Chains A and B, each alone.
Chain A
């Protein structure tokens, strides 16, 4: 059983399109995250949710909109995709906010052409 699963694994799309990435965790965790990893492997937090409530939005363009229908799911919708959005997006979850390790999904490699 995959602890944190995200779909799709690869996403190739044209500029201007709207796309979504889905994430589900079966660990019973209260906190979920989206991270962006650029081509140099640098990881940047985008959003943190705790009990379905947004608690971090790290200067992400408002074209990116997270949605948490329940504690086990955190989806990422991206409007009007740009070339600079190409990256690997990771979903993660943790039991508690801070102090505990996070479990990561396999990542979604988004390529905007």
Chain B
């Protein structure tokens, strides 16, 4: 079955630092890959996505590239802000799977 392994947190950074959250996946088919963000007390929001190999998703300064050869979809941001403090989830889905499979989530705290 499909599964997602995500870098464990928590991660604490200073403002303007570089952020990387590692994500690798196992899938039988050709999945779409997603990063979701959950701000405190809120639901999940889609941050970015990629639907095929070598696609790069980007949004709000965050980027992730779909790497089929390494089955990875690492999230990066060059300069984080306090407002980026949240829980980040890597996820995948494919046409044969009637759900999103999520990683365990990584809590990121950015200090001023």
Chain A residues in contact with chain B, CB under 8 A?
4, 31, 33, 40-43, 45, 48, 50, 55-56, 58, 90, 92, 97-107
Looking across the interface, which residue of chain B has its beta carbon closest to that of A106? B43
Known: A101-B49, A104-B44, A106-B42. A48 touches B105 (CB 8 A): no
Known: A41-B87, A42-B104. A98 touches B98 (CB 8 A): yes
Contact B105 A45 (CB under 8 A): no
Set B38, B49, B95: member contacting A98, Cβ < 8 A:
B95
Contacts of A31 in B (CB 8 A): 98
Contacts of B45 in A (CB 8 A): 104
Contact B95 A97 (CB under 8 A): yes
Contact B94 A98 (CB under 8 A): yes
A43 to B26, CA, bound (A): 17
Chain B residues in contact with chain A, CB under 8 A?
32, 34, 36, 38, 42-46, 49, 51, 87, 89, 93-102, 104-105, 107
Contact A99 B34 (CB under 8 A): no
A104 to B89, CA, bound (A): 13
Set B34, B36, B89, B99: member contacting A48, Cβ < 8 A:
B99
Contacts of A104 in B (CB 8 A): 36, 43-45
Contact B98 A56 (CB under 8 A): yes
Looking across the interface, which residue of chain A has its beta carbon closest to that of B95? A98
Task: Show 20 residue pairs from A and B whose CB-CB distance is below 8 angstroms, ordered by the A residue.
Answer: A40-B104, A41-B104, A41-B105, A42-B102, A43-B89, A43-B105, A45-B99, A48-B98, A50-B98, A58-B99, A97-B98, A98-B94, A98-B98, A99-B32, A99-B93, A103-B46, A104-B43, A104-B44, A106-B42, A107-B43
Contact B102 A99 (CB under 8 A): no
Contacts of A103 in B (CB 8 A): 46
A98 to B29, CA, bound (A): 11
Contact B34 A98 (CB under 8 A): no
Looking across the interface, which residue of chain B has its beta carbon closest to that of A41? B105
A100 to B94, CA, bound (A): 8
Contacts of B43 in A (CB 8 A): 4, 90, 104-107
Contacts of B87 in A (CB 8 A): 41
